[in-house]
A and B are shown apart, each in its own frame.
Chain A
Amino acid sequence: RSRCGGGKGNRDGTGEEMDSSSAAGLSGADPQLQRFIEVETQKQRFQQLVHQMTELCWEKCMDKPGPKLDSRAETCFVNCVERFIDTSQFILNRLEQTQKSKSAFSESLSD
């Protein structure tokens, strides 16, 4: 499940690499703080994606703001979220495949 040998991979398409508290240089610190940072980082990642998807899906799903969110728009938003996550996963999976089949892929990236 880990990609770079130390990551907490998840399948929501957001792809984390290393532990967030070790990324902050706090490997030896108070475990309570460490846990706190992990939890808050996770929460923030979620929040950020909600902000991003709301913005994107608003463009696709909202015409003229009315007195309430009608069911068609609501469905559009839900579909939009699902398809966004699908897109993200698709990209990660295909990238992984490309790297496996063509070992020269990473070399061409550094050029």
Chain B
Amino acid sequence: MESSFGSDFGSDFSSGGGGSGKLDPGLIMEQVKVQIAVANAQELLQRMTDKCFRKCIGKPGGSLDNSEQKCIAMCMDRYMDSWNTVSRAYNSRLQRERANM
């Protein structure tokens, strides 16, 4: 995924309305959605890395040994499982709250 969102955004503004100065909302919305998705993925990765480093790396050695790598791999999957569980639980709670309003 390219990281040149800034320049893409700029060039699309000018080509959007053929010089009339009007911005295409559909295009903006799609770009914003992509940026949001990227930001969320980055956030997830950052927190996952933090947690799995804490769980799996003891005293840092000269490289990641086999057991550390296995641990990190498992940790990643468990973190995703946890994230999904939390997401489902939160969603259920929100629906319950709305039903009670």
Residues of A within 8 A of B (CB): 10-12, 30, 32-33, 36, 40, 43-44, 46-47, 49-51, 53-55, 57-58, 61-62, 64-69, 73-74, 77-78, 80-82, 85
Contacts and interface: CB of A to CB of B under 8 A. Distances in A.
Interface in B17-48: 25, 28-29, 32-33, 36, 40, 43-44, 47
Given A40-B33, A57-B86, A77-B82, A51 B47 contact: yes
Contact of A50 (B51, B55, B79, B87): B87
A77 B85 contact: yes
Q: Majority SS of interface residues in chain B? A: helix
Contacts of B33: 40
Interface of B: 25, 28-29, 32-33, 36, 40, 43-44, 47, 51-52, 55-56, 71, 74-75, 77-79, 81-83, 85-87, 89-91, 93-94, 97-98, 100-101
Grouping DSSP codes into helix (H, G, I), strand (E, B) and loop, the A interface class, with mixed when no group exceeds half, is helix
B24 to A, nearest CB: 11
A107 B76 CA distance: 48
B78 A69 contact: yes
A74 B88 CA distance: 11
Nearest to A75: B85
A69 B82 contact: yes
